[in-house]
Homo-oligomer: A and B are copies of this chain.
Amino acid sequence: MKRTNKYIWILVAAIWLVACRNEPDKTHYPNIILTGDAVKAIRAEQTDLPLLLHSIESLKKKTELAMLDGIDVPAPKDPAGGYTHKRHKQNYINMYGAGVLWQVTGEARFANYLRDMLIEYAAMYPKLEEHPVKASYAPGRLFWQQLNEAVWLVYVSQAYDCIAGILTPAQKDLIENQLLLPYANFLSIENPKVFNRVHNHGVWAAAAVGMAGFAMDNDELVNRAFNGVETGPKEDVGAGFLIQLSQLFSPDGYYTEGPYYQRYAMLPYLLFAQAIDNNRPEMKIFEYRDGILKKAALTTLQLTNTNGQFFPINDALKSMSYMSTSLVHAVDFVYGLDESQKELLGIAQEQGEVIICEAGLKVARAIAKGEAKPFKWESKEFRDGPDGNQGAFGVLRSNSGKQSQTLTMKYASQGMGHGHFDRLTIAFYDQGKEILQDYGAARYVNVEYKHGGRYLPENKTWARQTIAHNTLVVDKDSQSEGKVKVASSHHSEPWVFDASKEEVKVMSAKENKAYTGVQMQRTIAMLNLPEVSDDAIILDLYRVESYAKHKYHLPYYYMGQMMHTNVNYQAETSSLNAMGKNDGYQHLWHTGEGIMTEGTNRFVWLNNDRFYTLTTEAQTKDKLLFARIGAGDPEFSLRNEPAVIIERDKTDNTLFASTIEAHGNKHPVTELVNGLKGNVAGIKTLANNSEHTLVQLDMTNNNKVVFAICNNTNDQNAMHHLTVNGQDYSWTGAWQLFKK
């Protein structure tokens, strides 16, 4: 629907004349994200800075293409995915692009396009009522929900900021008083509950209102963004941006929903903070709470597989990576604050673009000077919860480079509504590839065919269930009865995290509440033993204490093709059945099983031309189950990927002791095969009780190591001594590796 009343066209003509007269250098410069100094420097230096030039050219290409399409500001009508929804999203992106390009190129066509569109919006906005799609707890006007409404204003504030200086007083009055100010009021004083909410919806709203305030030099709006709005005597907790900063990230910059959502939640924080830093530098917003925003940005970057994709814990789409716009902002803004962080430039190079502002300019300059260093992935524990005491997410890496081996363990809190019932789950990555996977979410975002792009029913029935993860399932039930409310009332307990030694990096955590009466502790030791292997050997000790006897299932969702096992198994060859009826088991086909022999059992698979071996110590009657995802899937929505499941029945206290290792390779073209066999020849528990667990690994090259972990104290100074089979083991601290 194009609006064409007379009044508008007279205005447009007036603007055209004004715009054509204005040279860009004479204009008022913007001051929110893009600033005057940056504009001048960008104009002067862009041809010498390839990354910046490319970013400008790319923005130009996209914006010019959109401009060819003409201006369309349709009456709001459609839900997410529909035309009016998509169009208003596209419009804010185009307005932002046009604003930035007007500043950078000085070409009047960009300013004209932006102004024309703002005036169309100003003409329509006062007439709008609540969006006709009634599906949100917080409906917007342009969009079905206020979240999108806020995002629109975050971008449009920046766009307006870029042309405010060349508008006539009448135009400014129209755009500010008919559009931006009422729009900001709608998001704040008219919807205080969303605005004050400590939640990413609240952050977007605060950022939108605050940035609109800066764009219009309206201190009241800015202060509202800082402080929230009053809603009467019932509200006595604080609100606003500063509270958001205090509450939503842990002291390590970890966001409880996980990195997929953290990536999204980061953007309004970063944008508003940058705007604050540019306009109220005295607030030192980036130093707030011990530099929490910088920490959050760096944590998001660290929470990636070395191919750049975020660890897909909780509801997460696996393809999302640090190539996302949010992370381009994160990299640029953090580098803008601290130009010593040359490792960020390595990621900026991969991203292949910069934000067109002071920070992006700094990044482009440094890269042009050849200052980029490769990003360093760290072994680190990221504490969860506002005070950092609600469990953690642990990451061990064999080294800091792209080819490293990475093992993650989740021992955090539930992660709100997007959390999975997956306490103590692990995932393993080698050279940027998923080897033991976390399934992630069951969803095809924005693909209308698949339930309109929303979460699929299988997200609840499969992806969130415990059996969908590489962690223990007790009696085929999910943790916390599969109830978010129950799970949200407790969290796992970190026990040990020690990545200080190259040779052995250790993490251990306990989970005592997921299953009533069952106490679990999982310990991961990443062994880097050059005398044994160039690749890390992961020791995985899953200890259980229980008064009652249970059936335990410990699945490993290996990615790739099964190559070999020494377990005597029988595959199902003529018919398959689902493994159960509920708790996720209804989505697994039982493809075979075998009874393991007591002692060392091996399972070998091939993934992308490398071999991987799971070596596990079995007890009498333990079974190895073979499974494949895909049962109970009436719309063929699940990925049909395999797993092996260790089954130990009628057991109370026990230990699952296993190793996981990468070895050898198969060359795709020469077809040469090396290192077909792993380096662990045997695995044997020497002791496992409430005080200690000791496990011995016999290597194929005859090396032997014994790993010890303490189960009743993690005191770094406690001294331990025990004798097993006539051998003395003495050490200080929570764990030790003995070489024999």
Contact = CB atoms under 8 A, between A and B. Distances in A.
B449 A564 contact: yes
A644 to B, nearest CB: 10
Interface stretch (A359-367, A392-400, A570-578, A719-727): A570-578
Contacts of A639: 561
Interface stretch (A48-56, A218-226, A510-518, A630-638): A630-638
A446 B604 contact: no
Nearest to A577: B575
Interface stretch (A246-254, A379-387, A487-495, A663-671): A663-671
A648 interface: no
Interface string A418-461: 00000000000000000000000000111111100100000000
Given A320-B668, A320-B669, A562-B636, 6 more contacts: A324-B670, A449-B604, A561-B636, A571-B636, A573-B632, A575-B575
Contacts of A635: 562, 571
Contact of A573 (B325, B578, B591, B670): B578
6 contacts: A325-B670, A562-B635, A571-B635, A573-B578, A574-B577, A574-B586
Interface string A636-677: 110110100000000000000000000000101111110010
A673 B447 contact: yes
A446 B636 contact: no
Contacts of A317: 671
B563 A444 contact: yes
Contact of A576 (B447, B589, B626): B589
A672 B446 contact: yes
The size bracket of the interface on A is: 35 or more
4 nearest CB pairs, A to B: A319-B668, A449-B564, A562-B636, A446-B673
B574 A578 contact: yes
Contact of A671 (B445, B578, B591): B445
A163 interface: no
Nearest to A324: B669
Contact of A319 (B642, B669, B673): B669
A613 to B, nearest CB: 11
A406 interface: no
Given A669-B324, A671-B317, A563 B634 contact: no
A484 to B, nearest CB: 25
B450 A571 contact: no
Nearest to A608: B319
Contacts of A692: none
A433 to B, nearest CB: 15
A447 B606 contact: yes
B669 A323 contact: yes
Given A320-B668, A676-B448, A626 B632 contact: no
A69 to B, nearest CB: 14
A545 to B, nearest CB: 35
A201 interface: no
Contact of A321 (B574, B578, B668): B668
A503 interface: no
A670 B323 CA distance: 9
Contacts of A636: 561-562, 571, 591-592, 626
Nearest to A308: B669
A676 to B, nearest CB: 6
A534 interface: no
A295 interface: no
A609 interface: yes
A449 B566 CA distance: 11
A317 B563 CA distance: 16
A669 to B, nearest CB: 5
Nearest to A319: B668
A673 B321 contact: no
A141 interface: no
A522 interface: no
A321 B571 contact: no
A294 interface: no
A562 B640 CA distance: 11
A562 B635 CA distance: 8
A623 interface: no
A634 B573 contact: yes
A628 interface: yes
Contacts of A574: 577-578, 586, 631-632
A21 B635 CA distance: 78
Contacts of A448: 673, 676
Contacts of A323: 668-669
A210 to B, nearest CB: 25
A640 B627 CA distance: 12
Interface in A304-333: 317, 319-321, 323-325
Contacts of A630: 591, 628
A671 B446 contact: yes
A631 B573 contact: yes
A673 B453 contact: yes
A445 B636 CA distance: 32
A49 to B, nearest CB: 24
Contact of A447 (B446, B447, B631, B666): B666
A626 B636 CA distance: 10
Contacts of A325: 669-670
Contacts of A672: 446
Contacts of A320: 668-669, 671
A573 B636 CA distance: 10
Contacts of A634: 570-571, 573
A628 B633 CA distance: 14
A563 to B, nearest CB: 5
> Which residue, A448, A574, A578, has most C-beta atoms of chain B within 10 A?
A574
A52 to B, nearest CB: 21
A635 B626 CA distance: 11
Contact of A666 (B446, B573, B606, B631): B446
A626 B564 CA distance: 29
Nearest to A318: B668
A310 to B, nearest CB: 11
Contacts of A670: 324-325
A629 to B, nearest CB: 10
Nearest to A668: B319
